Chain A
Amino acid sequence: MSDYSDLEYISVSQVSGPLIVVDNIRNVGYNELVEIRNSRGDLRLGQVLEVSENHAIVQVLEGTSGLRTQGTSARFLGKPLMLSVGKEMLGRVFDGIGRPIDGGPPPLHGTQRDINGEPINPCSRAYPRDFIQTGISAIDGMNTLVRGQKLPIFSGSGLPHDRIAAQIARQAKLLQEDVDFTIIFAAMGVKHDVAQFFIRSFEESGVLGKSALFLSLASAPSIERLMTSRSALTLAEHLAFDENMHVLVIMTDMTNYCESLREIGSARGEIPARKGYPGYLYSDLASLYERAGRIQSSSGSITQMPILTMPSDDISHPVPDLTGYITEGQIVLERDLFQRSVYPPIAGLPSLSRLMKDGIGEGRTRADHPHIASQLFACYSKVKQVRALAAVIGEEELSALDKRYIKFGEEFEHRFLTQGEYENRSIEQTLEIGWNVITTLPREELHRVTEEEIDRYYKERVAVETLKSEEAENNYSGGNDIERE
């Protein structure tokens, strides 16, 4: 603690955007927490962004509206922003910097933690390998979530990302162990109804009592958003690594977070990189996302599911782009599927889970899982090509094989991808549907599954005849009527 922490400075010389400049300071450290009082005595918190021998630049968390250069006082607390963490925070609702907003008293007996955290030593990490069954085929089958992974949902405005996240929170479970996930929810700049939706959904599934919510809604000052995810992750680290719990952190919406960061950067007169975002956006996002994972000295884990909306559905926008470079894959939602009422509208090709390879296969899910998943990807990618061709020459003109691909595409989207919001499929069901869907294609087209797997799981559909007539392609008679179940 600073010896000067009882000093109150009234030397505020500038107020600009979210920043104030305090002059003639002594013994102030970088990143230190500041209490700011305006002339009416309202208290706000701030953080030192830059300090030199005679002045400090302070970022005011609750915004600077109503602050003047005269009559405003600042007190430097000699420590960075800390969060008092403990198990009794579960079941409670907090604001972005960890102050209760559910009317209850502040939690007692907490351990003080710097909300910025510290980097995990790669040497001390445990590699994530445990399959999480979310009950959603598109995720379990093709973009498997693994315990300790950071897997974001890339969405667009109006798409059902919240419903998917809530469904995952409701259904996620491990196959081997019977433990529930503890959910930590961080809302950054989202509307009030979105937060209400999650609260209601947690309540319905009975997990609200063991969840902690950090809400910094659209009405809250934008700077507070920078702290919200950090507060949430600080609690998550405590629960996972000190209390050995399995924590699922849902953060929404990362695009709002990045916008706050841009706001600060521009207020400080920094040189922007792409689209006005600061050059350190990547490092800053990494300081959040990299707090997911497992460590060897604890049995707990932090699984992160950040949600972000891609401005005008553009995946190359800096926020999804840099996120994709840090996270271990991405679940991409597709407007086209959504408009054809496919729920969940998870895009087949751009979605990816990097840790999938280690979480599936023999002893984890099933030996054929990696192969059938890869085969589905390959075939669906062919469907996209065939559809592009059909758009030019018309579906009628396609070869018999290509028509089977069109059929496969439909079955894949409407039987494999599509499921109910409360439908919880086991991994066996998912794989079974996958194999069943792929039987729309002749077995000669399958190169990514082994011969033995084909023998065991591939059940040829009735209309084998169409394949044999492939050579007689110009024969139109009844050729459209490919297999029926």
Chain B
Amino acid sequence: MKTKQNGIVTRINGPIVHARNLAGVEMYEVVYVGSLELVGEVVRIENDRCVIQVYEDPTGVKPGEAVVPTGGPLSLTLGPGLIGNIYDGLQRSLTEIHNTGRAFIDRGLKVHSLPADKTWPFKPLVAKGARVSSGTIIGSVQETPLIEHRIMIPPNVEGEIVDIVGRGEYDIEKVIAHVQTDAGTVEIKMYQKWPVRKPRPYKVRRRSDKPLVTGQRIIDTFFPIAKGGCAAIPGGFGTGKTMTQHALAKWCDAQIIIYVGCGERGNEMTEVLVDFPKLKDPRSGRSLMERTTLVANTSNMPVAAREVSIYTGITIAEYFRDMGYDVALMADSTSRWAEALRELSARLEEMPVEEGFPAHLPSNLAGFYERGGLVETLNGREGSISIVGSVSPPGGDFSEPVTQHTKRFIRCFWALDTTLANARHYPAIHWLTSYSEYIDDVSEWWRERDPEWLAMRNTAMEIMQREDKLQQIVKLVGPDVLPDSQKLILLLADIIKVAFLQQNAFDATDMWCSPEKQTMILKCIIMLWERGGEVVSRGAPLREVRNMACVQELMRAKNTIASDDGKALTALYDRIDEELRKIEESYL
């Protein structure tokens, strides 16, 4: 880094600081502002004057104080120690800050992103003389019992390994290998730096046909998301965006979870920190924290750092993707991020478009969601990033700009509904306003488990749609005037709501539902629908179907039968079959 001359602060307007005498700084270069050395980023340049977005509260900064350029853009330190950590938007470890004994976050604080004194068990995977290029895995570190951290050659390095250390415990500053490149010898350490705003390179994008199994019935069965897909969860306050995000972070079958709390509540991040270490991954039986990294920029932390926290999250996700992992990134909430953009843009005196948001909002959203996807990495592995962004529309009105623009860049829309949430129907994802464009992509995967999957799913959706139409009539004339064949639709819709769509995130049995249990319950419902409809058409009164003992059992199956208890599920299916047969026999 070449030393540039220091600039001088000329004006302070909240997080936007103007400075002069800064000829030679680059766009998005990081600078230190004032005597407290607050971190800032250059966002506009005009001759030797520039505008700086400061990531910390600028109280007390005065015109005339120094601005020190650092020579590079805002970059993350990527290496062992990321998992289980919690960072602010600038990748300062909040755990480290906590360990200093202060419960509050002071300004101008400088802490390590990765533990500097901790040693990691390194295992080399290439030998001297090997040809390596960007992304080549040269060794591994068992970071947690779940995650093997693969040490890669940083982007833009290509050459031959001159030497590499043997197995052993090293800290992250230890030079583990030298690579002879055309430009000279390059030292390789266990960590690498990468600028947050720049997507990391990969070889090629691929189409994804595997679902991200979340264990949430309405998502997996009705509105599935593919590995590498992008989804949005919009909803007014109290509809359960964060609850859904937490459920996904807990139970989805990605190998790495990056949870970005962007402009949300401090207690929600604390909840993750308290809960996750105690919860067990249903597949590996290990603590969920062993696969999770948190980025927390709560609503009361500086707004400029909130803007960058989304990029911090996605860059960490890309780093793990490059190792060949399936990563899921939860961004809660992208609306707060968009509001940060709006606030900064207003202070920069940019021309606003809709509702005060800047004109570049859609391209920023696109830039973020496009960093998701399933790719072949530089080292030839397959890795993916699935992005789930929640959206907090003002007044719960989905026609506002952030929801509308987000819809353009995602393919899965889980719309949360206030009426459902008020009735405590959780997850409050509305079946009529939500959609998923991944159904065709993932149906092959499901068909292998049950050939009838797609047909059953579509039948269930059809029942729900017909119920909605009937409800409009019921609202006017009451349900009693309907014929039994239509009352059956109402009954089945009720069963689908209670037995399938509602899922209790706090019930030990119900919080995670295996794909097998999902299809089995669905199968029972469809059988009830088809054969129940048949007997009703033969003249059996609806109460015969409604009063079957197994209907109550089916409604409670989500809580009473464990996800892996195939026997009990089959037994339930057989009992429904048996009871239906009895009715069928009496109405031949």
Contacts and interface: CB of A to CB of B under 8 A. Distances in A.
B576 to A, nearest CB: 18
A328 B356 contact: no
A447 B273 contact: no
Nearest to B392: A325
A377 interface: yes
A282 B336 contact: yes
B506 A389 contact: no
Which size class do A's interface residues fall under?
A: 35 or more
Contacts, number: 216
B458 to A, nearest CB: 26
A274 interface: yes
A411 B250 CA distance: 40
Interface residues of B, number: 77
A120 B10 contact: no
Interface centre among B62, B423, B476 (most CB of A within 10 A): B62
B103 A80 contact: no
A119 B269 CA distance: 13
A195 B275 CA distance: 42
B303 A273 contact: no
Contact of B238 (A293, A316, A330): A330
Given A318-B394, A447-B556, A121 B59 contact: no
Given A30-B62, A32-B60, A280 B556 contact: no
Given A283-B299, A328-B265, A122 B238 contact: no
A71 interface: no
B276 to A, nearest CB: 12
Given A52-B10, A123-B98, A124-B103, A377 B61 contact: no
B104 A120 contact: yes
B555 A120 contact: no
Contacts of A270: 346
Given A280-B343, A473-B480, A125 B266 contact: yes
Interface centre among A298, A349, A473 (most CB of B within 10 A): A349
A393 B269 contact: no
A31 B10 contact: no
B11 interface: yes
Interface string B380-423: 00000000000010111100000000000000000000000011
Interface in A279-333: 279-280, 282-283, 286-287, 290-291, 293, 295-298, 316-318, 321-322, 324-326, 328-330
Contacts of B300: 119-120, 283, 286-287, 290-291
A279 B343 contact: yes
A108 interface: no
B58 A321 contact: no
Nearest to B238: A352
Nearest to B97: A121
Contact of B94 (A122, A128, A316): A122
B267 A293 contact: yes
Contact of A280 (B64, B270, B273, B303): B303
A370 B62 contact: no
A282 B397 CA distance: 17
B561 interface: no
B220 interface: no
Contacts of A338: none
Interface string B531-564: 0000000000001000000001001100100000
A123 B392 contact: no
Interface in A399-449: 399, 402, 444, 447
Given A30-B60, A50-B13, A324-B238, A399 B266 contact: no
A274 B355 contact: yes
B339 A120 contact: no
Contacts of A126: 270
A447 B498 contact: yes
B82 to A, nearest CB: 16
A118 B392 contact: no
A286 B13 CA distance: 20
A283 B103 contact: no
A283 B339 contact: yes
Interface centre among A116, A148, A286, A399 (most CB of B within 10 A): A286
Interface string B37-60: 000000000000000000001111
Interface centre among B263, B265, B476 (most CB of A within 10 A): B265
Nearest to A398: B478
Contact of A118 (B94, B106, B261, B506): B106
Interface string B478-491: 11100000000000
A127 interface: yes
Contact of B506 (A27, A357, A444): A357
Interface string A180-194: 000000000000000
Interface string B262-281: 01011101110110000000
Contact of B62 (A51, A125, A282, A350): A51
B250 to A, nearest CB: 15
Contacts of A79: 60
4 interchain residue pairs of minimum CB distance: A316-B395, A286-B299, A381-B423, A52-B11
Given A53-B63, A123-B273, A282-B263, 7 more contacts: A52-B63, A120-B104, A121-B103, A273-B342, A283-B299, A290-B299, A378-B423
